[in-house]
Structure 1
Amino acid sequence: MKKLILLAVIAVVLSATQTFAQTGTTGVGLGLDFGDGSTLVGPTLKHRFNSKDALQADLLFGADAVWLGGYYQYHQSFPRTNSLQWYLGVGPQFAFADNNRGTFVFLRPMVGLDYTIPSAPISLSFDWRPMWQLNKDSEFEPARFGLGFRYNF
């Protein structure tokens, strides 16, 4: 069942990549989520609807779980540069755990920096993204960070 869910999620991400590529700037690459606890690694997708609004989707693996997250982000450029932006965001994240532990639901606010290399279609991002678990034990983990490496098209 978990493999079927994973395949469905991958199909949706690939379909969204083709649709988004026709309407704006989309980046696909590698995402890392690290800090206290396990390091999570997997594909990430970020689509910019305009210079300020973006959606990001992460499919991460680690801690004996598959993590699926989707975030809205508000971007703003620093003065005198378009290649370096700061952003604020928020969205849900779900962890589908192994060993009959069930599904965990998180709220993930974030604040970060996004840098696009002017001479190449590559963007790099770094953010602080604490985790607030909404079900089961309702825990808060402030020491979590994210890195993104994306190819833009």
Structure 2
Amino acid sequence: MKKLFTILCCTAMFALATTSVKAQSYKNALGGRFGSYNGVSFKTGLNKNAMLELIGNFRSSRGVNYVQLTGLYEVYNPIGGAPGLNWYYGGGASIGSVKVKGFDGDVYLGANGVLGLDYKFKGAPINLSLDWIPTLRITPDTDFYGGDIGLGVRFTF
């Protein structure tokens, strides 16, 4: 797990140092993502119409502790007549762990899709997004999760 985390961090730093964004009106964004999985979200531009999003989710409730790291490649398309508004789609992967009090924990891997809307306020460093992220869990048991709908609120820079 440490190797995967190191690889994702190095990829994000490389992307920060070598990319520019032309389809979106911001290069980087950092903030929160709120839905059934609350967490921290970071987006960075990869090329003229694509971004990398990293989401760190966490949840603790009734003796169940959950943590997940998701990396998504997102392709952005402007919506005509609506400056600052884009729709996006893409895919990625997630790795996570769940621990139930009194039982052994599980580490799992998943393949993710993403479909959403992204809006950058003109003249303000604020970005909002609303997206859907369905997941095909690969390990320890294969199953499909219909997805999490989340609202992202980020500071752009």
Superposition TM-score tier, normalisation by shorter sequence: 0.7 to 0.9
SS of the equivalent of 2:16 reads helix
Q: 2:31 aligns with which of 26, 29, 32?
A: 29
Q: 2:45 is aligned with what amino acid?
A: R
Task: Single out whichever of 109-118 and 41-50 deviates more from structure 2.
Answer: 41-50
Number of residue pairs matched? 141
TM-score calculated relative to the size of structure 2: 0.77
Structure 2: tracts of 5 or more residues without a match: 21-26
SS of the equivalent of 1:47 reads strand
Which residue does the alignment assign to 2:88?
87
Which residue does the alignment assign to 1:140?
144
CA–CA distance in structure 2, aligned partners of residues 120 and 17 of structure 1: 25
Q: 5 Å matches for 1:87-106?
A: 87-98=88-99, 99-106=103-110
CA–CA distance in structure 1, aligned partners of residues 147 and 69 of structure 2: 19
Which residue does the alignment assign to 2:131?
127
CA–CA distance in structure 2, aligned partners of residues 65 and 106 of structure 1: 14
Q: 1:149 is aligned with what amino acid?
A: V
CA–CA distance in structure 2, aligned partners of residues 104 and 114 of structure 1: 29
Q: 5 Å matches for 1:71-82?
A: 71-82=72-83
Runs of 4+ in structure 1 off by over 4 angstroms are 15-19
Q: 5 Å matches for 1:28-67?
A: 28-34=30-36, 40-62=37-59, 64-67=65-68
Q: Identify, as 1 or 2, the structure richer in strand.
A: 2
Q: Does the 8 Å contact 1:94/1:106 carry over to 2?
A: yes
TM-score calculated relative to the size of structure 1: 0.79
CA–CA distance in structure 1, aligned partners of residues 28 and 147 of structure 2: 28
Give the CA RMSD over aligned residues: 2.5
CA–CA distance in structure 2, aligned partners of residues 126 and 137 of structure 1: 29
SS of the equivalent of 2:139 reads coil
Q: Does the 8 Å contact 2:15/2:45 carry over to 1?
A: no
Identity, % of aligned positions: 26
Structure 1: tracts of 5 or more residues without a match: 35-39
Task: Single out whichever of 91-100 and 118-127 deviates more from structure 2.
Answer: 91-100
